[in-house]
Amino acid sequence: MRKYLLSAFAVCAAFAACAQGPRPGFEEKTVYKGDDLEIRQIDEHTWHGNGHVMANEAIYIIEGEERAIVLDAGTEIKDYDKIIAQITSKPVTLIATHVHPDHTGSAVNYFDEIYINAGDMVNVEAMMGDYKGEIKYLVDGQVFDLGGREIEVIFTPGHTPGSTTFMDKAAGYGFSGDAFGSGNLLLTTNWSTLLITCQRTLEYMKKHNITKLYPGHYMGRNCETQQRVADMMQMSRDVLDGKLAGEKNTQGMMGLNTVLSMHGVRINYADSALK
């Protein structure tokens, strides 16, 4: 799987530069640099980390007054729990944006429990099979109250059946894992799923004035925007209506043998996704 993902990201590393930096007034700075992870502070109580194994796989630390969320665990991060403790002194909850080896890698084992979307149980045996802790399930619409900061759970299937986005309405941003951006691979799902996810997410972003989504492979400037979600929604609709078709991708892996490129978005999919 890892080999597959590495290749897939190499093939589709069309990460759009949407010129989105950190929040105005806060200078993003590196606060930790180790062998497996580099962490940057993106605002007063939010940090972003990059692993170095699979296309800058991202982790995020989202802190409230009483507790913090650790979003994703990278591929291989030695002493991840100790690194996190250097960043926040609050008790942490580990949550996965989805179950893939670059987001729920070996470092999940530093935590007694992990929250995932039950839709990704299909991946657990193959990709998180040696996890000894307790797997808990996210609920669509549930809110994690961190103390003065609330993070809402929005199910956004498409990349995987259990891909999930986490919204901070007060901050005006969210964290989308690989649901948007990050190479746009439709793995075991289809265009109808992506269409509904885009419709729902765009509606939410407009209603709550969410201007950007930090993706699962964040490189400093490649946040997803309302426009990008709208573009993906239109592409999904046009593919389903037969107005658009991708090109065969000879390097496609895991059956993702077609790629559709438009508006700076590349969506990789299998023939079986055409429904």
Q: Nearest approach, Cβ of 170 to Zn ion (angstroms)?
A: 27
Compute CA 137 distance to the chain's CA centroid, rounded to the nearest angstrom: 17
Rule CB under 5 A: say whether 228 interacts with Zn ion: no
- Three-state DSSP state, 233: helix
Rule CB under 5 A: say whether 72 interacts with Zn ion: no
Rule CB under 5 A: say whether 64 interacts with Zn ion: no
88 or 123, CB closer to Zn ion?
123
What's at 106, amino acid-wise?
Answer: S
Site string for Zn ion, 121-160 (x = CB under 5 A): ----------------------------------------
Q: Nearest approach, Cβ of 8 to Zn ion (angstroms)?
A: 9
The rounded distance, in Å, linking the Cα atoms of 153 and 135 is: 17
Q: Is 39 exposed, middle or buried (CB count within 10 Å of its CB: 0-12, 13-18, 19+)?
A: buried
The rounded distance, in Å, linking the Cα atoms of 144 and 129 is: 26
Site string for Zn ion, 175-214 (x = CB under 5 A): ---x------------------------------------
The dihedral over CA atoms of 200, 145, 129, 51, expressed in degrees to the nearest 10, equals 80
Rule CB under 5 A: say whether 102 interacts with Zn ion: yes
36 or 102, CB closer to Zn ion?
102
CA distances to 44, 63, 182, 254 from 269, rounded to whole Å, are: 38, 36, 14, 10
Q: Which residue in the set 157, 216, 246, 252 belongs to the binding site for Zn ion (CB under 5 A)?
A: 216
Q: Which residues of the shown chain bind Zn ion in the complex (CB under 5 A)? A: 100, 102, 178, 216
